[in-house]
A and B are shown apart, each in its own frame.
Chain A
Amino acid sequence: MRNNFADTLYECGKENPRVAIVVADISPAGSMEKFRKEFPERFLNVGVAEQSMIGICAGMALKGLQPFAYTIATFALYRPFEFVRDDLGYQNLPVTVVGIGGGVVYSTLGGTHHCQEDIAIAGAIPNMSIIAPCDPLEARAATIYCAQQQKGPIYLRLGKAGEPVLTDKAVDPWQFGKIRYLQQGRDVCILSYGIIMKKAVELAAWLEQNGKSVSIVSVHTMKPLDRFGIEAALKSHRQVVVIEEHAPQGGLAAQTKQIAWDAKATCDLKTFSLQDEFIHNYGSHDDLLAAHGLDVAKISQQLGL
Chain B
Amino acid sequence: MKAQGEAQSLDVAAARRRCLKFRRRILDISQTVSALHIAPAFSCIETVDLIYHGLMRWNDGKSPDTFIMSKGHGCMAQYVVLEAMGILSGEDLGKYCKPNGRLGAHPDYGVPGIAASTGSLGHGLPMAVGMAYAEKIKKTGGRVYAVLSDGEIQEGSTWEAFMMGSTLGVSNLVAFIDNNDFQSLGRTSETHPTFYPLTDKFRAFGWETIELNGHDAGGLFEAVMSREGKKPLAVICKTVKGRGVSYMENVPIWHYRAPNKDEYVKAINELVEVTA
Query: Given B120, B131, B157, which contacts A59 in the complex, CB threshold below 8 Å?
Result: B131
Within 8 Å of chain A (Cβ to Cβ): is B129? yes
A63 touches B134 (CB 8 A): yes
B164 touches A46 (CB 8 A): yes
Stretch of B73-81, B109-117, B209-217, B231-239 lying at the A interface: B109-117
Query: Given B127, B137, B164, which contacts A62 in the complex, CB threshold below 8 Å?
Result: B127
Number of interface residues of B (CB under 8 A): 29
- Which A residues touch B229, using CB under 8 A? none
Query: Given A42, A54, A61, A91, which contacts B126 in the complex, CB threshold below 8 Å?
Result: A54
Number of interface residues of A (CB under 8 A): 27
Q: Mark A28-52, 1 if CB is under 8 A from B, else 0.
A: 0000000000000110101101011
> B142 CB to closest chain A CB, in angstroms?
8
A58 touches B135 (CB 8 A): no
B160 touches A46 (CB 8 A): yes
Query: Given A59, A82, A86, which contacts B133 in the complex, CB threshold below 8 Å?
Result: A59
Within 8 Å of chain B (Cβ to Cβ): is A90? yes
A-B contact count (CB 8 A): 94
Within 8 Å of chain B (Cβ to Cβ): is A87? yes
Which residue of the partner chain A has the closest CB to B127? Answer: A59
Within 8 Å of chain A (Cβ to Cβ): is B193? no
A63 touches B138 (CB 8 A): yes
A52 touches B137 (CB 8 A): no
Which residue of the partner chain B has the closest CB to A80? Answer: B157
Query: Given B120, B127, B132, B168, which contacts A58 in the complex, CB threshold below 8 Å?
Result: B127
Within 8 Å of chain B (Cβ to Cβ): is A83? yes
Within 8 Å of chain B (Cβ to Cβ): is A55? yes
* Most A C-beta atoms less than 10 A away, residue of B122, B130, B131, B132: B130
B163 touches A47 (CB 8 A): yes
- Which B residues touch A55, using CB under 8 A? 123, 125-127, 129-130, 157, 161
Chain A residues at the B interface, C-beta cutoff of 8 Å: 41-42, 44, 46-47, 49, 51-52, 54-65, 67, 82-83, 86-87, 90-91
Q: Which 7 A-B pairs have the closest CB atoms?
A: A59-B130, A55-B126, A63-B134, A52-B160, A56-B130, A51-B157, A49-B160
Name 4 extra pairs, CB < 8 A, besides A47-B160, A55-B130, A67-B130.
A55-B157, A59-B130, A62-B115, A62-B134
Instruction: List 27 A–B pairs whose Cβ atoms lie within 8 Å, in order of A's numbering.
Output: A44-B133, A44-B168, A46-B164, A47-B160, A51-B157, A52-B160, A54-B126, A55-B123, A55-B126, A55-B129, A55-B130, A56-B133, A56-B161, A58-B116, A58-B127, A59-B128, A59-B129, A59-B131, A59-B133, A60-B130, A60-B134, A62-B109, A62-B115, A62-B130, A62-B134, A86-B120, A91-B109
